[in-house]
Amino acid sequence: MLRQRGSFRRFAARAGVLVVASLALSACAETQLAVHTAKRMTGPVDLPPRGIYKIGKPYQIDGTWYYPKEDFRYTEEGVASWYGADFHGKPTANGEVYDMNDLTAAHRTLPMPAVVRVTNQDNGRSLILRVNDRGPFAKNRIIDISRRGAQLLGFEAKGTTRVRVEILPDESMALREAMIAAGRAEGGVAVASATGAEPAARPAPAPAPVVAAPTPPPPVVQAPAPAPVRQAQTAAAMAGGSYIQAGAFSTMENARHLEFQLQDFGPTVIVPVQTASSTLYRVRIGPLADAGEAQRLLAQVRGAGYGDAVVVTD
């Protein structure tokens, strides 16, 4: 028989979503965290202090294409992982600052920010998180969670776990509309209708315009050209040249995460280097034309929050 031990309240990383949790103790003395459904927002949305509402363009990581979109019916089951100190204090994909102690997450295609419920299928724990970053890029994972989120969901030590991820449509759209109204949205994101209708970008059964105008999709879907470019860049990086090195990691997954964050600055490469005990993955931008370009780009990269970036020539 379950007996309630207490409760606590916590804001889900300033997303404006109130998380209510209860601790219960079973006859077998097993503790379980049960986080209830987020309350429907009735007041002003509490916006993150930084960042914009962003969907983003299609992108390629390690030969795989990803297509971000607004999907307010999204639900998926798969493997979750978590990320922490390597990215603490660094920019997220929508311009926020990653705090491993906040309740946030990274997803490959959902709009940012969006509000999701993540349920650990191994222990039943559930948590409300704000998606504000891109990742993970390991093929068997569907979401990357902050360290604090992993602690509350009970899989920090294990590293990964089976989860169910569900977007909360009302909360996500309210956050979207509040950020657009505040002028904090990526260019091209339309304002939702004042009549209260769903946003225009929300999936709807209207295939006719797509069939009538097939020209835009093919360049995105049928665009394998970047893969050979990436291979050529990697070869060039091995051979030498001038680059901005923004980070070095012991895992390829962390390197790919940073590689995505740097794509707006120019061509990116991951250069593996074998050390005495392991492989180090260096993330670089380049090659660059000359020293002047390298210094200008270095200033931009550092100004964007990557203070450890340096110019390298090997």
Separation CA 236–CA 228 (nearest Å): 12
Which phi and psi angles does 177 have, rounded to 5°?
-65, -35
Q: Which amino acid is at 269?
A: V
- Residue reference for tokens 């260019």: 187
- Residue reference for tokens 């390991």: 138
Q: Mean pLDDT, the chain, as a whole number? A: 76
In the beta sheet, which residues pair with residue 282?
248, 271
State percent of the chain over pLDDT 90. Answer: 46
In contact, 170 and 38? CB cutoff 8 Å = no
Q: Is the pTM higher than 0.85?
A: no
Q: Is the pLDDT of residue 36 over 70?
A: no
**For residue range 105-148, what is the model confidence (pLDDT) as tens digits?**
999 999 999 999 999 999 999 999 999 999 999 878 999 999 99
Helix (H, G, I), strand (E, B) or coil at 215: coil
Residue 127 CA: distances (Å) to CA of 33, 56, 111, 133, 216: 9, 26, 19, 17, 38
Residue 139 CA: distances (Å) to CA of 10, 123, 133, 136, 205: 32, 24, 17, 8, 30
